[in-house]
Structure formats: C-alpha cells, structure tokens
Amino acid sequence: MTKEHKEIASRAEWTTHIGFCARTASDLLGYFMYFEHGNRTDAVIKDNAENIIANLEWEWYEPRKIEKVNEVRQLHEAKESCQFSVFITYSDNKFYDENLNAVKSQWGDSVEPIVLFLVRFDRKGKRIFDTIETHHIQNGRSKKIRSQPALPWHAEGKRWEDWS
C-alpha cells in the first residue's frame, strides 16, 4: 500500500469501485453476486439455493433527474422478488432534499425496504465528494442510519487518515 491516491476519480472508476464493494459485501455475507443479471439489474445477490436476497442498482445521474434515472422504478417493479433492494447514487448538496425526495416518492409506501446509499458532493467543475449517507426507506418513511466521509482518507481512524 502506498500513499499514492487520486483525489478525483472518473465515473468509470466509481462504477468499478461500487461493483467491487458490493461484491465484497456479498462475499462477506456468504452470498453470491451476479452482475448485469437478466439485462435488467446492475447486480443481484443470491443465496446458495438461488433465492434473491437483494437487487442492486447504481446510477451516476442524480435521482431528481427522473427522466434519466429509472433505476428506482426498476427496483420497485422487482421488489417482491427479493428481501430488500439497494440503490446507490449521488447528490449535489444544493439538491440534496430534492434527490432524497425523488427516491422516497418513487418508492412510495412499499412494505418492502430499500437501502439508499447517497454520495453527496459539491460541484467545483468536477464533483468533490464529501459525505456518504445510508438511508432505510420503507412504509413511506425514511431514516438516515449512517453518515461518514465519502473518501476513506477523510474518515477518522482509517489507515489513510494522515494522507489528506
């Protein structure tokens, strides 16, 4: 491990990073990860009997751009086929409430839960990520269950803490 790191990652690098993190979490839980499953979902987590545990989608565009972002609708359509859904996306801090409300309104009053990972940023030409939040949305209600710095070298106690 070196102290070399890239302050600003590309869209493709973030997509790869999300896939790697989701795969690692699936492995740690003892499940299997399938990418681009059935040409409908970015990833699916299954158990050893092929039961779907979770459907996952991620999107670079902000959820407030409903005409471009259909991932929440796709997850909503398939919500009864899994135990929970996961949506990973981004939000300009200026449009935070609008982005969070876009996901909540599309999920509606569903009894099935969706876990939302919202990577917040300020725009200074490019996106400057500052915070990642985890929200649990179910039965028309949303609860923020975690918030931390989006970049590991900004998080307290991490091995990269002294790099910034």
Give the pLDDT band (50/70/90) at residue 144. very high
Asked if 45 contacts 27 with a C-beta cutoff of 8 angstroms, the reply is no
Q: Is 30 within a domain?
A: yes
Asked if 57 contacts 82 with a C-beta cutoff of 8 angstroms, the reply is no
Q: What is the pLDDT of residue 1?
A: 45
Asked if 107 contacts 114 with a C-beta cutoff of 8 angstroms, the reply is yes
Q: Is 119 within a domain?
A: yes
- Beta strands (DSSP E) in the chain are 32-37, 41-46, 52-58, 84-92, 114-124, 126-138, 141-149
Q: Is 3 within a domain?
A: no
Q: What is the pLDDT of residue 70?
A: 93
Q: What is the pLDDT of residue 51?
A: 96
Q: Is 96 within a domain?
A: yes
Rounded CA-CA distance 66/54 in Å is 23
Q: What is the pLDDT of residue 89?
A: 96
Rounded CA-CA distance 143/138 in Å is 9
User: Which pair of tokens denotes residue 151?
Assistant: 């970049």
Per-residue pLDDT reduced to its tens digit, 15-67: 888 889 999 999 999 999 999 876 678 999 999 999 999 999 999 999 999 88
Q: What is the pLDDT of residue 99?
A: 98
Q: Is 127 helix (H, G, I), strand (E, B) or coil?
A: strand
First CA to last CA distance, the chain: 16
Please give the residue range of the domain that contains residue 125: 11-163
Q: Is 4 within a domain?
A: no
Q: Look at 9 and 10; give whichever has higher pLDDT.
A: 10
Q: What angle do CA 35, 88, 116 make, to 5 degrees?
A: 125
Asked if 139 contacts 109 with a C-beta cutoff of 8 angstroms, the reply is yes
Per-residue pLDDT reduced to its tens digit, 61-102: 999 998 899 999 999 999 999 999 999 999 999 999 999 999
Per-residue pLDDT reduced to its tens digit, 103-124: 999 999 999 999 999 999 999 8
Q: Is 2 within a domain?
A: no
Q: Is 6 within a domain?
A: no
Q: What is the pLDDT of residue 140?
A: 94
Number of domains in the chain: 1
